[in-house]
Amino acid sequence: MKRLLKIVSALLLAALVCSVAAPAVFASEAGATTATTAPTTAAAQTKLELKALSSVGSNQKNYLCSPNYSNSTDNYSFNVPDWMPSLTVKITGPSGLSCSSSSVSFSESNGVYSGTFELKEKTQSFSVKFSSNSGQSRTLNITVRRSTIECFFDKVILRLGDNEIAPKSGSVNDGLVYELASGTKSCEFRLTPRHENEVFFENTTVRADGTRVVDAANAKEKQTLEYYRYTIKPDLIEGTNTFVATITAGSVTKTCNITVIVGDPNANSAAGTTTTSAISSIPPVSGQQTVTDYGCSINGTTMTLTNASTGVTQTYYRSDGTAADSIYGTWSASDGSGTMVFYADNTCLVNGTSCGYTLNGTALRIESFTMTSPSEDTGTVLPTTTQAKQSGGLLGGMSPLMWVLIGIIITVVLGACIFMIVNMSSGGSKNRMPEDDYYDEPLYRDSRRGRNLADFAGDDYGDYDDYDRGYGGRNRPYQGRQRNVSFDEYDDDDYYGRY
């Protein structure tokens, strides 16, 4: 029995020792864990987390940082084109932070901290420090590098309404060709270039007569960025339309040729060529034909004409300033003596006079007509054509405009006479308003007509109700509005509330 009591006592003592030692062991382990994790928590409390880092160039395009932003990295760099004059760095984080920089002034708007600065050096560096009211802080080190970055067209999209039209052939580098249905009057281009400084768009479409749809002086327009792209909406003509998109970046220039064919591609093509062309048929005119031959040399914007009979040479310049080896277009004499306009249908204007022309290689022949014997050639390069005035008589020398005016006057007088004759022959039956087809009553005739002076003296002119009767006279008084329609009736959610 004593032995059993000793065993029980020993077990109780052991249990007592374990109950006392266990909390101490657990406390030491917990203390060890707290000791190892406490520094990490303290570090997390001082690390300020931001959301994004980017930059916007002077071309309003975004440039991304390298490496990609993360809260574990504090050193970043930006690569921008060497032509760029300024850059705006944007840092997104919590609102209300204290922001300071070594060389750039930052301002906040809804948690976005922006700083704009000039780019003067090939490499520029600065730091930005953020601090919060809770004691967290963060410093970003930023480097901006300027280098030669090639500009290019990333996307060229043509749209008709809500539909995007795929090109028939070509590429941005080789030129794009689109085909649209006949009758299409306009379209929309969306250009998305990269690393560009300026964007220009020019309509170079030529009509069948050799003239440009848009004058060269106004055809090339600088475009404005809109939603990170450039949107152009040119007008189209039937046939082949041509456009040139140009981007510049410093000393680098890139172009993209765009062709839009509406219906038949030859609808506005030239009727002949500039090397071998036959003169088109000229309406017969009574009189004598004048033919002047020239030696013709065209070099870009300059044309030199040498009169074959006199040897006199004169220089002409293309008015639109467009360099081409074609004769089509408007040419002005270097001494201001006159102009020549050549069209693709082998007709031309010489000082405003219609003529025909043939160009075979360097031989240019201009044919005109005169009503009388032509004047002697004075040796000037421009063939003068005058339309002789009719001599003698009262109307001698009258211009065609006067003949047109006289014709209009005669037509008006004859029409008035016919109208009066018809009304007189039909009596008073025609004295009816258009509404008489629906009313059997004649128009109201004022009973005051045919009265003497005493009758008028007894009239009460203070009562103007008699005059408020509209088109129908007293027999058809003015009915007023059938409904009292107010604007509130149109404020119906079922119809207008959706727009």
Strands 137-147 and 75-81: parallel
Confidence at 427, pLDDT banded by 50, 70, 90: low
Task: Summarize pLDDT for 13-41 with one digit per residue, the tens.
Answer: 555 545 544 444 444 444 444 444 444 44
Measure the CA–CA gap between 492 and 132, rounded to whole angstroms. Answer: 52
Q: Which amino acid is at 265?
A: P
Rg (CA), the chain: 45
Q: Which amino acid is at 318?
A: R
Does this model's pTM top 0.75? Answer: no
Measure the CA–CA gap between 219 and 322, rounded to whole angstroms. Answer: 11
Strands 175-180 and 252-262: parallel
Q: Picking from 192-196, 203-207, 397-401, 445-449, which range would have the lowest pLDDT averaged per residue?
A: 445-449
Alpha helices, H only, 74-203: none
Which is more confidently placed, 262 or 210? 262
Do residues 133 and 153 lie in contact, with contact meaning Cβ atoms separated by under 8 Å? no
Task: Summarize pLDDT for 144-177 with one digit per residue, the tens.
Answer: 999 988 899 999 999 999 999 999 999 998 899 9
Given a cut of 50, is residue 131 above it in pLDDT?
yes
Average pLDDT of 199-222? 89
The SS3 call for residue 290 is strand
Measure the CA–CA gap between 172 and 159, rounded to whole angstroms. Answer: 16
Q: What is the pLDDT of residue 211?
A: 85
Average pLDDT of 103-109? 93
* Average per-residue pLDDT for the chain: 74
Burial class (CB within 10 angstroms; exposed 0-12, middle 13-18, buried 19+) of 397 = exposed
Given a cut of 80, is residue 195 above it in pLDDT?
yes
Q: What angle do CA 315, 218, 193 make, to 5 degrees?
A: 120
Do residues 220 and 183 lie in contact, with contact meaning Cβ atoms separated by under 8 Å? no
Given a cut of 80, is residue 421 above it in pLDDT?
no
Do residues 286 and 360 lie in contact, with contact meaning Cβ atoms separated by under 8 Å? no
Q: What is the pLDDT of residue 325?
A: 75
Average pLDDT of 131-142? 92
Q: What is the pLDDT of residue 328?
A: 80
Which is more confidently placed, 244 or 495? 244
Alpha-carbon 60 to chain mean position: 19
Q: What is the pLDDT of residue 74?
A: 95
Count of CB atoms situated within 10 Å of the CB of 80: 21
Q: Which amino acid is at 449?
A: R
Q: Within a 13 Å sphere around the CA of 331, how many CA atoms are in the beta-carbon half?
A: 32
Given a cut of 60, is residue 286 above it in pLDDT?
no
Q: Picking from 62-76, 256-270, 448-462, which range would have the lowest pLDDT averaged per residue?
A: 448-462
Task: Summarize pLDDT for 114-128 with one digit per residue, the tens.
Answer: 999 999 999 999 999
Measure the CA–CA gap between 237 and 208, rounded to whole angstroms. Answer: 11
Confidence at 2, pLDDT banded by 50, 70, 90: low
The set of long-range contacts for 286-291, using a CB threshold of 8 Å and a minimum separation of 24, is 286/371, 287/369, 287/370, 287/371, 287/372, 288/369, 288/370, 288/372, 288/373, 288/374, 289/367, 289/368, 289/369, 290/367, 290/368, 290/369, 290/370, 290/374, 290/383, 290/385, 291/365, 291/366, 291/367
| pLDDT above 90: percentage of residues in the chain | 40
* Residue showing tokens 């080789």: 174
Task: Summarize pLDDT for 93-105 with one digit per residue, the tens.
Answer: 999 999 999 899 9
Measure the CA–CA gap between 84 and 144, rounded to whole angstroms. Answer: 11
Measure the CA–CA gap between 209 and 225, rounded to whole angstroms. Answer: 35
Q: Picking from 170-179, 200-209, 320-329, 444-453, which range would have the lowest pLDDT averaged per residue?
A: 444-453
The SS3 call for residue 451 is coil
Confidence at 379, pLDDT banded by 50, 70, 90: very low
Measure the CA–CA gap between 227 and 206, rounded to whole angstroms. Answer: 32
Which is more confidently placed, 60 or 473? 60
Confidence at 279, pLDDT banded by 50, 70, 90: very low
The SS3 call for residue 400 is helix
Confidence at 472, pLDDT banded by 50, 70, 90: very low
Count of CB atoms situated within 10 Å of the CB of 306: 17
Residue 319 backbone class (left: φ over 0; alpha: ψ -120 to 50; beta: rest): alpha
Measure the CA–CA gap between 45 and 137, rounded to whole angstroms. Answer: 9
Residues in the chain: 499
Average pLDDT of 226-255? 92
Bridge partners, residue 304, by sequence: 297, 315
Q: Picking from 193-202, 225-234, 480-489, which range would have the lowest pLDDT averaged per residue?
A: 480-489
Preceding amide of 442 cis, omega within 30: no
* Residue (of 285, 266, 277) closest to 348 by Cα position: 277
